[in-house]
Amino acid sequence: MELYLYLSLIPEALIYSQLPPDRFGKYLAIGDKKLTKGPAVFFEVDPALKSDALPLERARKKCEPHLDGSPRRSTYVSVYHALANIPTSALGDLHLATKDGITLGIKRKNGGAPGRKGLFLYQELCPVSPRVASPLAPEAFCKYVTNPESPAYLPRMVFCDQRLDGLSTDPENASSSNLPYPNLNHLRECLTSLKVKSDKMTKIVHRDLDASLLFYMVDGGFYVGDQETFHAYPMPSEETLEKDHYSWLSSAQSSPLL
């Protein structure tokens, strides 16, 4: 059987598996017996990866088929500092599995993220998961958060940007009727403070991951980077999703609005 290596982000874990991405996403999202339900985000990782910081060879040897011949679903390599110990060059396609276990693959885009004016709302995914407002575009935000001169920096991070619509340029007055975020007044206050204080680069809006809104509200896409590298995984347009991935889109949008 083919051997795969995956980096799961919710929560962080490096895992060998004999399941291909679509089946692995279903396994993460709903489990063996469909007793769990929740979205999953994971990278394919080069299975030939070598690292002195990770017990790859030991885990690789354990990832063998079961006695009945069925594939090994998961053999964990690490649940701590996995992202920081994997070079971004070893990361392949990103996969988004809905709470129903339907998986969408996204390929890396050559070059940085497209720029736009205004404020941003980021959902950090790994290794921490607050929702953060910032005036910085994705690549600049990544460089700011991973700067080792900061007292609370991350060595590497994965995050996505989320929709703000009119609040990105006019947080005080723009309509928020299409935004399902809880406590919109607090969001407006955070964005307004960043607009007023030009020296303020980040403002925490919410300290935990709201998984029900994760896919539904993604704007430009997902990003991974550090001080040296930055890679974008652009979210397909809604038109493309409706045409080519309708089942995934329907499942991703089925979460109740808060």
pLDDT in tens, 151-203: 789 999 999 999 999 999 999 999 998 899 989 999 999 999 999 887 899 99
Question: Structure tokens of 236?
Answer: 């397909």
Q: Which has more pLDDT, 61 or 117? A: 61
Say yes or no to pLDDT of 256 above 50: no
Residue 36 has a pLDDT of 64
CA distance 234 to 79: 27
Banded pLDDT at 113 (limits 50, 70, 90): low
How many beta carbons lie within 10 A of that of residue 236, not counting itself? 16
Q: What is the mean pLDDT of residues 60-80?
A: 94
pTM of the model: 0.93
Question: Structure tokens of 209?
Answer: 């991951």
Question: Structure tokens of 182?
Answer: 């809880």
Say yes or no to pLDDT of 209 above 80: yes
Banded pLDDT at 257 (limits 50, 70, 90): very low
pLDDT more than 70, % of the chain: 95
Residue 114 has a pLDDT of 66
Banded pLDDT at 214 (limits 50, 70, 90): confident
Say yes or no to pLDDT of 79 above 60: yes
111-to-114, 230, 232 alpha-carbon distances in Å: 9, 8, 8
How many beta carbons lie within 10 A of that of residue 101, not counting itself? 21
Say yes or no to pLDDT of 35 above 80: no
CA distance 176 to 9: 29
Buried/exposed 150-183: b ≥16 CB within 10 Å, e otherwise: eeeebebbbbbbbbbeebbeebeebebeebbbee
pLDDT more than 90, % of the chain: 81
Banded pLDDT at 10 (limits 50, 70, 90): very high
Say yes or no to pLDDT of 231 above 50: yes
Residue 198 has a pLDDT of 79
CA distance 32 to 64: 18
Q: What is the mean pLDDT of residues 233-238?
A: 94
Rounded to the nearest integer, the mean pLDDT of the chain is 92
CA distance 40 to 11: 9
